[in-house]
Structure 1
Amino acid sequence: MAEPAKLRIVDPEIPETADLNTLLTHVARGDEAALGQLYDLMGPAVFGLARRIIRDPSRAEEVTQEVFVQVWQSATRFDASRGSARSWLLTLAHRRTVDAVRHDQAASNRERKYDWTGGPDYDVVEETVTLGLEHEQVRRCLDGLTDIQREAIVLAYYQGHTYSEVAEMLGANQATVKTRMRDGLIRLRDCMGVES
């Protein structure tokens, strides 16, 4: 299938064989037709340069469009005594393309630095404060036990010893250790306000 013909407005004041310098002069005066002709002549070169640097065709198209918007806005800055129009256009294209790569890289770096996990499912500060308060309450309640009760509970619950190991360490029989621990746990429960 043949490609549809492109509609192009041709300014009668600009000859078909106009050079790029002449076209840029007309663009600087606000001539949209001259910009169209300039795009037809230089668009492929600008896109090709952007495409070689960026590699992503759609991003290269965006950069090409940005370059010609910049040409429209800054054509008055072109100075033919400092270089050719082609060089000026390709320099704009190169700078714009490098800026796009830097921008995209910075955005990618920000994305990688951001923690997308959403963080914990709970309030860490609240959890830390609550645990600290609970630990303080347990310590205060442990201090309210008799030395014998406290010693048996600490050996069993905090140090992980069995009834028989606690009985051996304290020099008591297992029944006595179980009674001390049961009485101490009841007092701890009452102190902590836990309902049975």
Structure 2
Amino acid sequence: MSPVSPDSSDNQPDEGPVPDDQLMLAYAGGDKAAFDALYTRHESGLYRFVRRLLGVRLSSEVDEVFQETWERIVKARASFSPERASWRTWAFTIAHNLAMDRLRLSGREVSFYAHDEDGDGLEAGVLFSRGLLRAGAAQQPSTEEVAFWRAAGRRLLACLDELPDEQRAAFLLQQEEGFTIEAMSLSLDVGFETVRSRLRYGLQKLRICMERYLSALERVS
């Protein structure tokens, strides 16, 4: 019986994308292409997290903090250990710590801003409509519904900017990045109950802030 040729593509399984942890270990071992793959995969998520965490008041510092995050990742590549935390948790921890340092140094004042930079209003409105604060949204929304969700999204972004920094960070990690409580506890360097409290109080404040739009939803439902 003849062995199957290793060059036969018909029998090669689809292995899928290389996991983040393996890419980072490969990069630490000298594979620069592995870093390029990580950057491409997580550039938008990390940038969005830094931008939302810093808020409008520190929007001019987003690019610098984002760049510094990747510089830290590069410098610390030899210390990365998937046994301690996944790459994604590790990377977002670095971004979180750098952003929080800027917020502390700035003496950030809480202010209300309604903004829609780079389409964030509609993006946040989609997040809102998925069930973040209210369940249910049309699969193919009308022009009027899109306008409504864009306005609701702008309001949500402004409400996020009013949250205490720690509550905003917990909210963003869970709702936008899909972090579990365990991963958030690692990233934020606090206990499970502290994470849960930040999420609970943050959501309560967001619901109050979004009350006007929630009431509007009740009228049209």
Q: Tell me the TM-score normalised to structure 2 length.
A: 0.38
Computing the radius of gyration from Cα coordinates, the structure with the larger value is: 1
- TM-score, normalised via structure 1 length: 0.43
